[in-house]
Structure 1
């Protein structure tokens, strides 16, 4: 049994992907080839945004907008401590300060009601909070109506981190379309993934899109030797774009299949473990299916039994960001974000992908229900 079964997906579309790759090999435009622009057009249409700027990774998809907004020393960016390091890493890379706030215990997403506390904290350490990066954790979009309300009241630039949530939605509005700008990742394990690294940025803002396209290619202006600002080498290569063009054809179907797996898990749960919650009118893309055990001991026992039966598990995320050594200079302490810390001790994830057999789903739930 696979935690994520990319091979099963590949069997469906391998011949088409090989044809796409061969076409790139034939035309030889490996950097910013026609497939890149075709993909950007299709992704922008899918999300419902005016611009899609493809880039080399989900991390660069967060970094580029921050550079474009001149975020740097003396600035603060609000985000969650319960996510992958990339979200906060890009903030520190630019010399800005990550300001963490706690999450909801049921959705694991950032709790916007703590935004006023974050603003007060920023004032107390003499920095200016300029942006917020909510994360669509495990496939579920964050609570954007409330986030955007606070952001508008306090002049915060919102960057949606849709790396895990791409394919999800709120009231039919797609993940990747919230905030002034959104970012996603095409890392192979993501709901829509390529066969390497890749990412994309979405916005309706003409000026911001222009700047981000420039930053993506070394701050270029009229041509590659006209450099008008500092930038990075952040392009998506043509072969990865070609792969994604084939994968996006089956993406909606795969999200639907992921939701069927999740529905089976939820409907067949008879356990003291806390199952993930999807609010009404929200759709998750189920990047992961994560469960919270009643205790660390029960988590360990369940994982041990699952692994003995050759059922893989993962833990996202065992150490919250505010307790990571790399962020120690900011003085965050244990018990400062109790919901995050409690979740991180007892959460684990079980297999989730569109091709998971019903017999395997049943096997997994039979073991979990023993607890």
Structure 2
């Protein structure tokens, strides 16, 4: 009678952590990915000062904000988009769903591992979900061969590919040559690409380039304030449409928006104008974040790799994707044969919370998990950041995982 829709795993894990904390249990929260950094002071001030602005904006979003976003992303990564082809909404999550809803039927290609909401959204929209397999040895990156293999299972004329880089849950990005190769096959098969670049501004080496630069004719880029500006709960996202977008497609997107979310919150849009005033004006703010996140991410990857938990050093954002496959025998002797078992066992015995790989599209027997390395408070003095001083929970949590795996192997 009713649709079967499970709660988003990332939101569920946060609820579980709070419940355990209410029982006075110490939990290392590596499960929920939320930036510990506050938005810039001027952005917070703008939100406070606009609290009285209660009127609706247009469905598409404030025009001045869209103009600022256009200039901001052109400076950031060469993304060229007319302000009239930008949609602003209460979060990029609803925009991803809106894009999928605009199609009556489509095949949706989702590379694994993938963010937890892509697949449920595709299913809710009534589409045919096709998982694109990737492998640890290939850095969890898709390539033309994997795409060609996936589209053998197509059912419909329309095809949507969702890219996400730097990625959630892996923290990895694509090189220009890899993006070019994907663009070639996307063009050959007339694939609509949704390029989720919500973590683009948190690329550690500042090398992020929009996929739209390689495939401008059919790429929609999604982004927003939640990650780089530390404002996830404010709910402000944007979709950058391609030039020459079909009139019917654009009208469908705006129409769906008008019948669902109506508009992004007006006070938040006003604050966003401050955030997007100048890309060059927020360089220090971004550099402080990426410098800290890179140090933490590399520390975690190094420590875990040392005990043969497979991890690729992150290139952006605040996630790493763990592969426990080399410990399968020891874990199996403890009755752990799935990623859910793995995460439940780790939580019960150590208090460390990570998210099972089954939430990211893998079969339950794959022994993987996502770790979000953001269980720390924003440092007061970012220029003198030290892991031991500013991130004691990160260090404790990683050591608990390392010791737990070590104990398992000794006992076995």
Same fold, TM-score > 0.5, yes or no: yes
Q: 1:57 aligns with which of 86, 91, 111?
A: 91
**Kept after mapping to 2: 8 A contact 1:35/1:241:** no
Tell me by how many angstroms 1:55 deviates: 1.9
Q: List per-residue Cα deviations over 1:283-336 (Å, max 9, x = no partner).
A: 3223x23322233546655444541xxxx5230543454xxxxxxxxxxxxxxx
Residue segments in structure 2 that go unaligned for 5+ positions in a row: 1-27, 277-281, 337-341, 380-385, 406-412
Question: How many residue pairs were aligned?
Answer: 326
Shift of the 131–318 alpha-carbon distance from structure 1 to 2, 3 Å rule, reads: closer
Q: 1:168 aligns with which of 198, 203, 223?
A: 203
**Kept after mapping to 2: 8 A contact 1:192/1:247:** no
Matched, 1:240 2:272: no
For residues 231 and 256 of structure 2, the distance between their equivalents in structure 1, rounded to whole angstroms, comes to 27
Residue segments in structure 1 that go unaligned for 5+ positions in a row: 221-229, 322-339
For residues 96 and 76 of structure 1, the distance between their equivalents in structure 2, rounded to whole angstroms, comes to 6
Matched, 1:144 2:179: yes
Bigger drift between 38-47 and 53-62 goes to: 38-47
**Kept after mapping to 2: 8 A contact 1:176/1:184:** no
Q: Which residue of 2 aligns with 1:40?
A: 69
Tell me by how many angstroms 1:156 deviates: 1.6
For residues 144 and 350 of structure 2, the distance between their equivalents in structure 1, rounded to whole angstroms, comes to 36
For residues 243 and 210 of structure 2, the distance between their equivalents in structure 1, rounded to whole angstroms, comes to 20
SS across alignment from 2:244: helix
Q: Which residue of 1 aligns with 2:409?
A: none
For residues 150 and 30 of structure 1, the distance between their equivalents in structure 2, rounded to whole angstroms, comes to 42
Superposition pairs of residues 188-207 of structure 1, within 5 angstroms: 188=226, 192-203=230-241, 205-207=242-244
Q: Which residue of 1 aligns with 2:309?
A: 273
TM-score (ref. length: structure 2): 0.64
Q: Which residue of 2 aligns with 1:208?
A: 245
Tell me by how many angstroms 1:96 deviates: 3.0
TM-score (ref. length: structure 1): 0.70
For residues 44 and 189 of structure 1, the distance between their equivalents in structure 2, rounded to whole angstroms, comes to 15
**Kept after mapping to 2: 8 A contact 1:219/1:232:** yes
Tell me by how many angstroms 1:244 deviates: 4.2
Q: Which residue of 1 aligns with 2:49?
A: 23
For residues 353 and 255 of structure 1, the distance between their equivalents in structure 2, rounded to whole angstroms, comes to 15
Q: 2:156 aligns with which of 85, 109, 127?
A: 127
Shift of the 290–345 alpha-carbon distance from structure 1 to 2, 3 Å rule, reads: same
How big is the alpha-carbon RMSD for the aligned residues of Structure 1 and Structure 2?
A: 3.9
For residues 204 and 400 of structure 2, the distance between their equivalents in structure 1, rounded to whole angstroms, comes to 31
Superposition pairs of residues 1-371 of structure 1, within 5 angstroms: 3=30, 9-10=37-38, 13=40, 16-25=42-51, 29=55, 31=57, 32-33=61-62, 36-37=65-66, 39-41=68-70, 43-45=72-74, 46-51=76-81, 52-66=86-100, 71-73=103-105, 75-80=106-111, 82-106=113-137, 107-110=139-142, 112-122=144-154, 126-136=155-165, 137-138=167-168, 139-142=171-174, 143-164=178-199, 167-168=202-203, 172-175=207-210, 177=212, 179=215, 180-184=218-222, 186=224, 188=226, 192-203=230-241, 205-208=242-245, 214-218=251-255, 233=261, 235-245=263-273, 249=282, 250-269=285-304, 270-277=306-313, 283-286=315-318, 288-293=319-324, 294-295=327-328, 297=336, 302-307=346-351, 312-319=352-359, 321=361, 340-341=362-363, 344-352=366-374, 355=378, 358-359=387-388, 360=392, 361-370=394-403, 371=405
Q: List per-residue Cα deviations over 1:254-277 (Å, max 9, x = no partner).
A: 123211211222344421211234
**Kept after mapping to 2: 8 A contact 1:54/1:236:** yes
**Kept after mapping to 2: 8 A contact 1:292/1:347:** yes
Shift of the 211–57 alpha-carbon distance from structure 1 to 2, 3 Å rule, reads: farther
**Kept after mapping to 2: 8 A contact 1:21/1:243:** yes
Shift of the 215–168 alpha-carbon distance from structure 1 to 2, 3 Å rule, reads: farther
**Kept after mapping to 1: 8 A contact 2:161/2:194:** yes
For residues 35 and 158 of structure 2, the distance between their equivalents in structure 1, rounded to whole angstroms, comes to 44
**Kept after mapping to 2: 8 A contact 1:292/1:346:** yes
Q: Which residue of 1 aligns with 2:18?
A: none
Tell me by how many angstroms 1:150 deviates: 1.6
